[in-house]
Every structure is written in structure tokens, then in C-alpha cells.
Chains A and B, each alone.
Chain A
Amino acid sequence: MTLPSSTLAAAADAVLDNRVAARHFNRLPLSITVSGLFLLVLAVVLAVPFWITHYDPLAGDVSVGLQAPSTAHWFGTDRLGRDVFARVVYGARYSLLIGLSGMLISLVIGTLLGLVAGMKNRWLDEVASRLFDVLSAFPSVLLALLVIALIGPGLMNVAVAIGIAGIPKFGRLVRSQTLLVREADYVRHAVLYGRSRLQTFVTHLLPNVLMAIPIVATIDIGSSIMAVSGLSFLGLGPQPPTPEWGVMLAEGRDVLRVAWWPSVFPGLAITLTVISFTVLGSYCQRRFEGRQPA
């Protein structure tokens, strides 16, 4: 009696699963499709910028400076006659890579501290949690400024500065997730199935804690890129003539009154990138929410 009915139920469920999946794919919101495509293009730009443009982002001819966008120069030229399109394309490398490194630094340190805080040791929890409090007491850009003041400006230093400022975001997430998962039945009862503490940690606790990270990380790349551009704009990141988007914005500001294109296009690049990451990240968050009972 049980067997056939359960088989039937399984078959019905499988059909249903497929249909739900198909319907879901068809209903992918336009904003997600656009953001995804934009990031895909960005990835290509990042990997092989020389396929996109044959201009050198650094070489320019002052005699053709500040030309408006045309078929020869899609985004026009800047004050030194450099092709703005080429600079935006090559600039993706700097902005994205620094942003990504910054995010990774916060992720790794934040996760480690969060795990330590989420363990049962009250003293360690106090130390880690107060560290998060102190770090997040400053606005993140201000904190990054402070770090740069200590270690000096530069390409990688910006990443480190932003990375440190972002630690509490991951640290708190991982800590709360650890506290939650630690009390879940499948972790508390793992001992009944002969698991040692270390085994339980590695096979059950850690993976379920880390599941929460990718979504937050995706959203965080956006704000990280934003911070990178901001610091570069202030001249604390990579120095001219590096074609970093923030640096380009700063350079374009000087000629804004006569030419809009040297600043608008890098600004647009920053805006679209940040929006894409945020939109995609929030979508994933909604989509996978509730899919991971802790």
C-alpha cells in the first residue's frame, strides 16, 4: 500500500519540480538579465581589454585633446588626448580588482573572527564582537582614510583599507550564523552518530555557516568598488596616469566646464557596475532566502 503511493508521490513531485524550475527561468526579471549581461561584458573587458579597443589607455596626443565623442573616439578624448573609451575599458581592471581584493580581505578576516566569536568561548566572543563594534563605529570611508593615513596611499593599500573597513559586515554575519547553526539539531545531535567535535565542525557547522556568505559577498563587491573609486578620486589610491575610474573622475573634474565626457563615462561605468552587483546580490538573497534552514 505504501510503496506504490509513495512512488507516485515522488513522480508527481519530480514533475512539479521541473515545471517550477522551468517557470522560474522564464520569469527571470529583466533587471536581473540586464545586470547579468552587463557583468558578463565586464568580465570579458577585464580579461581581454585589447580585443575591445586598439587604443593605448596611457598614450595620448595633446593636439587631439578634449575631442567630443565620435566614431573614432567613442567616448571622446581627455585633456591629454587619450581615448576615454580605452581608459574606461582598461580601468575596469583596477577598479574591479581592487574592489574584489578589498571584499576578499574583509571576507577572510571577517569569517575567521566571526567563527571565533561564534564558538562557545565568552572571552573570545567579547574581544571579537567589540572589535567589530569599534570598526563599525567609524563610517567605512573614514576608517579607510585612517588606514591609508597609516600605511600610505597606493593601489594595494586601498584594497587593504577597504578590506579592514568591511570586516564587521562579514564578522557579524558569520558570528550570528554560527550561533544559529551551532544550536541546530543536526549539529547538536551529530554526537549521537559518533561524530567528534572536529568532525561536526568540518562536516556540518562550517559548510552551513559559509552558505550565507556568497550572497552578502556579491552585494558587498558593489559597495567595495564604490569605496575604491571614492578613495581614488581623493587621490589616495592608484596615482595618475593609471586609468582607474575614480582617478579618471578626478581628472575629468578639472575640465568639466568644457567637456563632460572624460568624467561622465567613468562615472557611468562605476554606477552601472555597482548597481549590477547590488541588483544581482539582492535577487540571490530573495531567491535563496528560506532555502537554508539553520
Chain B
Amino acid sequence: MSARVESEPGAPLVDVEDLRISFADVNHGAPLVRGLNLRIHPGECVALVGESGSGKSLTARSLLGLAGEHAQVQARRLQIDGRDALRFNLQDWRQLRGRFAGLVMQDALVSLDPLRTIGQETGEVLRTHRMLNDAARGQQVLDTLRQVGIPDPQWRSTQFAHQLSGGLRQRALIAAAIAAGPRLIIADEPTTALDVSVQRQVIAVLAERVAQGAGLLIISHDLNLVAQIADRVHVMHNGEVVDSGSVQQVLTQPRHAYTRQLLAASPGAASRGTRLSSARVRPGAREQDPLVIERDPLPSRLPAEPREVLRVEGIGKSYRRRGFGRQGQAFTALHSASFTLNAGEVLGIVGESGSGKTTCANIVLGLLAPDSGSVHLLGQRWSHVPEAQRRPLRRQMQYIPQDPLSSFDPRYTVAQIIAENLLPGGDDRQQASALLTQVGLNADFLDRHPRSLSGGQRQRIAIARALAAEPALIICDEPVSALDVYVQAQVLDLIGELQASRGIALLFISHDLEVIRHICDRVLVFHQGQLVEQGPVGPLFEAPTHPYTRQLLSAHPAA
């Protein structure tokens, strides 16, 4: 690596050697980040990749002096813009922030002040550093907004964060970070909460800045995303960089076991019907050869029966808009959608937010009454009947949410959560502990509270609760989108395994096309309230017929 650095033109923006960050009262004072080396040159994009808690955000924040009030930051060398940052006082850091280095954070909605317009937010950094006069500042704000691809900046700059879509909001956040023309941009999971097509736009904006000579430090848990933009990648694990090098190197010749595991655990078309969590990477026979991933098969699935579990015919839903001058205007969340789901089949639902996929799921769940059309579960009428009539059938249809914690009563222990869904009369604890074993946990978890568990463990509990009812159909609403890659692999394995051995039909909602490719048999594509395309996953993804599906596939990082 050092040879490469020598050949780089220009002095590094950031030069860190042997960085250690610790907190006296966290982790018993042991460092959360150790031995980290990092160099960022102008016009270069460096990525930090790792799971939550690996120390990547902490590292990035320490470059802005934002590691935390009680953080102990030590390093053999910590040079920012050629100056020794270990000696920086508060004043020095303030001079640095915004002007030399801009920070783009993950959640634009909470990062932008709800009481200030996008224009004010973007101009903030210029005002703070007393750059430009009022008129020039206004012009600079508009220019910046235009640069990040916000259409009609004159109008948008007067709007507030909540009036913008997720994509525009994230771009406004980038605008606020780059308004002063910083030479270093630090982006902490800038696209994680966004749909694939918006993701592409945001990455393009960041790439543009890099092309113009800014240094970019991008933090992500997604190797595929990073591959699109980064020149070099550092893979972090438990506070240490375990693998680093050019993107090509890391993706094709991962040196460390953790990186290999990360690559092997990524779902996709090739991993269908196999376990992700036990997949192994073998290097190719020669150096240039692609990696070989060895995977173990999932248990063979029960023979498919042409028994219909769910029949959805022409369901639609519209709402009346509220607000000034818009009364009476109807907003159609879902135009007549029809599909069926057979026993033992996995049906995926894809679409960006606002595409109608959640409305569709809520109608199928019976949480929402459709305006038109009908739903039949196991041949019986499911929509347009009173809840009391649905109740006997409820056990047949279960639900796995995206955020299991909020779906658990905060007072309940794991045993109580599962018991809630067991038939009365049996030994609840015994049955609950049997279910926990099936989802890879054990009886020790019975008396714990979900809030003391990890995300993966919580999702397992949600799965155990669904299984407790012995359902014919489970609706999975983005069940793995909040999880790290390896935990996602474990949960996908679990779902796949249980689905195969029990022949449960799954309705699997996800915005991640690779996850859909991995687990689904057929897929429905939603766009602006329309069910635009449906069919078997392979053919549909190979040769999409609808323009939106084509756009979606081309927007996807791995495509």
C-alpha cells in the first residue's frame, strides 16, 4: 500500500496512523478502535465497511473531533490537512468543520432542522465561517443545490425538510455538507435508508464531487454499494481494520476470514436454495480467477402442491387528500392488484417507498379494508367480513415485521411474547422453549426482555412467535433490511430452512433485489400504486418487460 501512496499526487487530506479510540466507561476502557491507519488523498474515495458496532462511524467522527466528549483519541499520527490534529483545541476543530470537511449523515429527516428551510440549512456553514456576503451566499446556496441535482432550487430552498421526498432530503443534506466547498467529505451511511433508484442518484452526486477533486470517506455496511464508488476499502471488524486495499483486491482476493465471510454471506441469484451463513469463499486457481463460493444446500423443499393459500383479486385503495385546496382530491395508493399464492411458495414484493407494497400487505393482513376487489385466504372470504369472522383463520396467516421490537409489548418477556400466540391448554413454557430451539435460540432466552437482545435475536423471536401459530402463510415485511450482512444471512437461512421443511407460503416484501433473488420463487413489482409486473424471479429479472422493472434492475448496485 505504501508504494501506492508514494505515487499519489498531492499531500493527503487525512493521514492517520495507529489510531486508538477508547472511552473510560465503555467496554471497560478497552479501545473501540485500535491500530487504524487511514490516508485520504484529494480526488480519492476511501470506504470503511463493517457491521454495526465495528467502530467505523466512531473513526469517521474522530476526524472531525466529534468522537465524543469523553473519548480518548490517541494516535502515532493524526494529521488533517497537514496539521497535527492531536493538538487541536475546540477553536481549531470548529475552523475545520464545514469548511475543510463536510459530514453527510444517514438520516436526513433528523439531521435537518425541522424549523429551517433547506436554503437556510445549506447556507448555515457559509454564515458560520463568515464566508461571502449575503447576496453571494444566496447565489452559492442555489448553485450548491443545483450541483447536487435538486431541480428548481429557487423554490426548493424555501421548503422545509418534511416537505421533501427522501431522495431530495438526502441531497439537501449533502448540499449542506458541501456548500463551503470542503476538500474532504465524510459520508456516514449516506444511502442506507433510501430506495435503490434514489441510492444511485446520491452516489452519483458524491462521485461527482470526487471527480472534481474532493476526498471522500464513505462509511457503509454494504460492500456492493461501496464497489461502485470507492477506490480503496478498509474492512473493519471489532474496532480493527482486518482487510484493506483497492476495491478490486478486497472483492476478489479477500485476505481476512471476516471479509470472506462477508462476501460469501451476500445473497443473490447464485445463492438460491443454499445456506448463506455457512458459505465459504475459496480463491480461484489463479490470481485473476473469480472467487469460488462454496455453499451448503438448504433442506429440500416439500413437493409443491397446487393448493391456493391466498387469492387476491383486483384490490385497490385510495385516500382523500387533506390540506389546503386539495380536499376531495383522491390519492390512489393501490390500483387494482391481483395475484395468487400457492402452498409452499415464496412470493416476493418489490417496489420503492410509496409504490403501494405496504398498502397491499396491510390489505392482505386485514388491517386495511380495500375499496375494491377481494381477498380470499384458504378459499374463505377474508376481505369485507367482520373481524370476528376472520379471527378463527388468523392463526393461518402470520406476520414478521421489519422492526420486531416495536411489535413486542414492552412489558413482556420472550416467553410471554411467544405464549401469546400459542393455543391455550398446553405447557406454554415448554412449547415456547421448543420454538426457541427451532429458531436457533434456547430456553435461556425465555425470561429475557427483547430490548436486551440484538437485532438478529429479536427477529428470531418474531419468527418463533409466527411459527407458534403453525400458519399456512407468513407475511414478511422487510424482515432483514435492518440487519447487518452476516446476521441477515443467518435470518434468511432460518426463514428458508423453516419454509422448506414446513411448506409454509411466504409473502416476502423487500426493497433489496438480491434478497428477493435469493429467496423468492415469484415476484411482484409495484410502482406508483400499480402492480406493473409479476412472474418467476429468474426470467423476470433476466428479461424484464416493464420499463420500471428495467430501471430498477439497472439502478441496482450489483447489476
Could you tell me which A residues sit within 8 Å of B by CB distance? 1-3, 6-7, 9-11, 13, 17, 184-186, 188-189, 191-194, 196, 203-204, 207-208, 211, 292-294
What are 12 A-B pairs at a CB distance below 8 A? A10-B444, A185-B403, A188-B367, A189-B367, A189-B407, A191-B394, A193-B394, A193-B421, A196-B388, A196-B391, A293-B406, A293-B451
B420 interface residue per 8 A CB criterion:
yes
Q: Is the CB of A189 within 8 A of B411?
A: no
Report Cα–Cα, A293/B448, bound state, in Å.
Answer: 16
Q: Is the CB of B454 within 8 A of A2?
A: no
| Complex: chain B residue closest to A187, CB-CB | B409
Q: Is the CB of A2 within 8 A of B440?
A: yes
Report Cα–Cα, A189/B445, bound state, in Å.
Answer: 23
- The B409-459 residues at the A interface (CB cut-off 8 A) are 409-411, 420-421, 440-442, 444-445, 448, 451-452, 454, 457
Looking at the complex, which one of B407, B442, B469 makes contact with A7 (CB distance below 8 Å)? B442
Q: Is the CB of A185 within 8 A of B407?
A: yes
Residues of B within 8 A of A6 (CB): 440-442, 445, 457
A182 to chain B, nearest CB (A): 13
Report Cα–Cα, A13/B451, bound state, in Å.
Answer: 12
Q: Apart from A2-B277, A192-B366, A293-B451, list 13 A-B contacts with CB within 8 A.
A: A6-B440, A6-B441, A10-B442, A10-B444, A11-B444, A184-B406, A186-B409, A189-B367, A189-B399, A191-B387, A192-B365, A196-B391, A208-B409
A10 to chain B, nearest CB (A): 5
B427 to chain A, nearest CB (A): 20
Residues of B within 8 A of A1 (CB): 277-278
Report Cα–Cα, A208/B409, bound state, in Å.
Answer: 8
Q: Is the CB of B394 within 8 A of A192?
A: yes
- Whether A3 touches B421, Cβ cut-off 8 Å, given contacts A186-B406, A292-B410, A293-B405, is no
Residues of A within 8 A of B549 (CB): none
Residues of B within 8 A of A188 (CB): 367
Residues of A within 8 A of B367 (CB): 188-189, 191-192
| Complex: chain A residue closest to B440, CB-CB | A2
Q: Is the CB of A189 within 8 A of B401?
A: yes
Could you tell me which B residues sit within 8 Å of A by CB distance? 277-278, 365-367, 387-388, 391, 394-395, 397-399, 401, 403, 405-411, 420-421, 440-442, 444-445, 448, 451-452, 454, 457, 469, 490
Residues of A within 8 A of B420 (CB): 193
Looking at the complex, which one of A10, A184, A194 makes contact with B448 (CB distance below 8 Å)? A10
Report Cα–Cα, A137/B394, bound state, in Å.
Answer: 48
Looking at the complex, which one of B399, B405, B406, B448 makes contact with A192 (CB distance below 8 Å)? B399
| Complex: chain B residue closest to A211, CB-CB | B411
Residues of A within 8 A of B407 (CB): 185-186, 189
| Complex: chain A residue closest to B469, CB-CB | A193
Residues of A within 8 A of B451 (CB): 293
| Complex: chain A residue closest to B409, CB-CB | A186
B210 to chain A, nearest CB (A): 39
Looking at the complex, which one of A11, A17, A192 makes contact with B398 (CB distance below 8 Å)? A192
Looking at the complex, which one of A13, A189, A194, A208 makes contact with B395 (CB distance below 8 Å)? A194
| Complex: chain B residue closest to A188, CB-CB | B367
Q: Is the CB of B452 within 8 A of A13?
A: yes
Looking at the complex, which one of A7, A13, A194 makes contact with B391 (CB distance below 8 Å)? A194
- Whether A2 touches B490, Cβ cut-off 8 Å, given contacts A10-B448, A189-B401, is yes
B360 to chain A, nearest CB (A): 16
Report Cα–Cα, A147/B15, bound state, in Å.
Answer: 73
Number of A-B residue pairs, CB cutoff 8 Å, is 73
The 6 A-B residue pairs whose C-beta atoms are closest, nearest first, are A2-B440, A194-B394, A185-B406, A185-B407, A186-B409, A10-B444
Q: Is the CB of A207 within 8 A of B394?
A: no
Q: Is the CB of B366 within 8 A of A10?
A: no
Q: Is the CB of B401 within 8 A of A207?
A: no
| Complex: chain A residue closest to B399, CB-CB | A192
Q: Is the CB of A3 within 8 A of B442?
A: yes
Residues of B within 8 A of A192 (CB): 365-367, 394, 397-399
Looking at the complex, which one of B410, B440, B490 makes contact with A208 (CB distance below 8 Å)? B410
Residues of B within 8 A of A184 (CB): 406
Q: Is the CB of B398 within 8 A of A293?
A: no
Residues of A within 8 A of B401 (CB): 185, 189
Report Cα–Cα, A211/B412, bound state, in Å.
Answer: 13
B390 to chain A, nearest CB (A): 9
Report Cα–Cα, A191/B451, bound state, in Å.
Answer: 23
A106 to chain B, nearest CB (A): 25
Residues of B within 8 A of A191 (CB): 366-367, 387, 394
| Complex: chain A residue closest to B421, CB-CB | A193
Residues of A within 8 A of B395 (CB): 194
Residues of B within 8 A of A294 (CB): 410
Looking at the complex, which one of B391, B408, B441 makes contact with A186 (CB distance below 8 Å)? B408
Residues of A within 8 A of B397 (CB): 192
B274 to chain A, nearest CB (A): 15
A291 to chain B, nearest CB (A): 8
Report Cα–Cα, A99/B482, bound state, in Å.
Answer: 49
B447 to chain A, nearest CB (A): 10
A203 to chain B, nearest CB (A): 8
Residues of A within 8 A of B408 (CB): 186
Report Cα–Cα, A13/B444, bound state, in Å.
Answer: 11
- Whether A10 touches B278, Cβ cut-off 8 Å, given contacts A185-B407, A192-B365, A193-B420, is no
Residues of B within 8 A of A11 (CB): 444
Q: Is the CB of B445 within 8 A of A10?
A: yes
Q: Is the CB of B454 within 8 A of A9?
A: yes
B458 to chain A, nearest CB (A): 12
Report Cα–Cα, A211/B406, bound state, in Å.
Answer: 17
| Complex: chain A residue closest to B387, CB-CB | A191
Q: Is the CB of A208 within 8 A of B411?
A: yes
Report Cα–Cα, A60/B367, bound state, in Å.
Answer: 73
Residues of B within 8 A of A207 (CB): 411
Report Cα–Cα, A216/B405, bound state, in Å.
Answer: 26
Residues of B within 8 A of A208 (CB): 409-411
Residues of B within 8 A of A196 (CB): 387-388, 391
Q: Is the CB of B440 within 8 A of A3?
A: yes
B198 to chain A, nearest CB (A): 25
Residues of A within 8 A of B387 (CB): 191, 196
Residues of B within 8 A of A293 (CB): 405-406, 410, 451
Residues of B within 8 A of A17 (CB): 452
Report Cα–Cα, A204/B454, bound state, in Å.
Answer: 23
| Complex: chain A residue closest to B395, CB-CB | A194
| Complex: chain B residue closest to A207, CB-CB | B411
Report Cα–Cα, A189/B365, bound state, in Å.
Answer: 9
Residues of B within 8 A of A7 (CB): 442, 444
Most buried by B among A185, A196, A203: A185
Residues of B within 8 A of A2 (CB): 277, 440, 490
Report Cα–Cα, A55/B460, bound state, in Å.
Answer: 67
Most buried by A among B278, B403, B405, B411: B411
B501 to chain A, nearest CB (A): 16
Most buried by B among A2, A10, A204, A207: A2
A213 to chain B, nearest CB (A): 14
Report Cα–Cα, A292/B469, bound state, in Å.
Answer: 27
A185 to chain B, nearest CB (A): 4
Report Cα–Cα, A292/B405, bound state, in Å.
Answer: 12
Report Cα–Cα, A196/B409, bound state, in Å.
Answer: 16
Residues of B within 8 A of A9 (CB): 454, 457
